[in-house]
């Protein structure tokens, strides 16, 4: 499943914004707006969706096994390689409560292999310990990674990543 900006319904999220109510987090920062010389008589800025990096969303559930991870990584690999530019990888772990050591090792290996096609990694989890683990992984790998409580927090952060 491809990652989508929070102004678009994400499968399984149960959340959809009311029509015409663009969330504040989805508004384009000044650095992404067109210069006044390029603006027409219509909107004063490009739709945010035209400026968002392509994203890939993988969802991990329950106790993560190597087999379950491999299925998600297969889909993610296909999406990453079909993208014309680097992608934002979002890993939704909100319903995951643990993982096998071989699954963790495989994710680290896979991430290293595909790092040149990944702009940044966002991990969605409610577990405070996992927020610290993601921070440590970011430091150790030198890759832009961050943990979030909510999917809607990813877009503003991803827009700041070069």
pLDDT of residue 141: 87
For the segment 120-130, what is each residue's pLDDT rounded down to a tens digit? 999 999 999 99
Q: What is the pLDDT of residues 147-157, one digit of tens each?
A: 999 999 999 99
pLDDT of residue 162: 79
Q: In the structure, what pLDDT confidence band is assigned to residue 98 with cuts at 50, 70 and 90?
A: very high
DSSP lists the bridge partners of residue 2 as 56
- Summary mean pLDDT of the chain: 78
Q: For residue 82, what are the CA distances in angstroms to 34, 43, 79, 85, 86?
A: 28, 31, 5, 9, 10
What pLDDT shows up at residue 111? 94
Strands 118-124 and 87-99: parallel
Percent of the chain with pLDDT over 70: 67
pLDDT at 100 over 90: yes
Between helix 66-82 and helix 101-114 the angle, nearest 10°, is: 10
The pLDDT value recorded for residue 11 is 38
pLDDT at residue number 52: 60
More confident residue, 42 or 111: 111
pLDDT digits (tens, 9 = 90+) for 8-60: 333 333 443 444 444 444 444 444 444 444 444 444 454 444 556 689 999 99
pTM metric for this prediction: 0.69
Contact 48, 5 (CB under 8 A): yes
Higher pLDDT, 140 or 14: 140
Say which residue, 70 or 54, is predicted with more confidence.
70
């Amino acid at each position: 499943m491809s990652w989508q900006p929070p102004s678009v319904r994400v499968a399984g999220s149960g959340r959809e914004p009311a029509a015409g109510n663009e969330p504040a987090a989805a508004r384009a920062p000044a650095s992404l707006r067109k210069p006044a010389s390029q603006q027409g008589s219509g909107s004063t800025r490009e739709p945010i969706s035209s400026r968002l990096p392509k994203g890939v969303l993988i969802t991990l559930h329950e106790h993560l096994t190597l087999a379950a991870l491999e299925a998600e990584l297969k889909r993610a690999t296909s999406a990453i390689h079909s993208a014309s530019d680097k992608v934002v990888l979002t890993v939704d772990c909100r319903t995951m409560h643990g993982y096998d050591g071989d699954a963790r090792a495989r994710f680290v290996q896979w991430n290293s292999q595909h790092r040149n096609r990944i702009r940044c990694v966002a991990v969605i989890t409610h577990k405070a310990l996992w927020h610290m683990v993601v921070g440590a992984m970011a430091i150790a790998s030198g890759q832009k990674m961050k943990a979030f409580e909510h999917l809607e927090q990813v877009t503003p952060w991803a827009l700041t990543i070069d």
